[in-house]
């Protein structure tokens, strides 16, 4: 158990809908990362937050957004969902969000868009 929690574990929704994925980092970690993992692709970095502020942005679609709250939990919002958005979404956390820190991953949310 990494100490990172994610909810829900599974999510089934329809195209065009909007969903929110939630992540609680390890106790003491200030930085949160979001990743997408499709069946035929490796982990794709989406976005990073540090202490409530956006720090880095990866291949995140405009239909997706995220935020980190004062209590350091983070939410990833996916809107106007398409079939291709079906994937595993992982959250990871680290203490300072620096480049050479180990990131600890949560168990993931499996999203299925029908």
Partner 1 sequence: GESVGLHLPTLSVQEGDNSIINCAYSNSASDYFIWYKQESGKGPQFIIDIRSNMDKRQGQRVTVLLNKTVKHLSLQIAATQPGDSAVYFCAERAQNTGNQFYFGTGTSLTVIP
> Which residues of the chain form contacts with partner 1 (CB under 8 A)?
2, 4, 40-45, 56, 58, 90, 92, 99-100, 102-108
3-class SS string, the chain: CCCCEEECCEEEECCCCCEEEEEECCCCCCEEEEEEECCCCCEEEEEEEECCEEEEECCCCCCEEEEECCCCCEEEEECCCCHHHCEEEEEEEECCCCCCCCCEECCCEEEEEC
> What's the closest the beta carbon of residue 18 comes to partner 1, in angstroms?
24
**27 or 102: whose CB is closer to partner 1?**
102
> What's the closest the beta carbon of residue 85 comes to partner 1, in angstroms?
19
> What's the closest the beta carbon of residue 102 comes to partner 1, in angstroms?
5
**8 or 16: whose CB is closer to partner 1?**
8
> What's the closest the beta carbon of residue 15 comes to partner 1, in angstroms?
26
**20 or 105: whose CB is closer to partner 1?**
105
């Amino acid at each position: 158990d990494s100490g990172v929690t994610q909810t829900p574990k599974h999510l089934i929704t329809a195209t065009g809908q909007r969903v929110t994925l939630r992540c609680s980092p390890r106790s003491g970690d200030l930085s949160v990362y979001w990743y997408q993992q499709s069946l035929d692709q490796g982990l794709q970095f989406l976005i990073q937050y540090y202490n409530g502020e956006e720090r880095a942005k990866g291949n995140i679609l405009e239909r997706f957004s995220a935020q980190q709250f004062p209590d350091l939990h983070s939410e990833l919002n996916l809107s106007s969902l398409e079939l291709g958005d079906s994937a595993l979404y992982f959250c990871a956390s680290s203490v300072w969000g620096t480049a050479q820190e180990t990131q600890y991953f949560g168990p993931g949310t499996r999203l299925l868009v029908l």
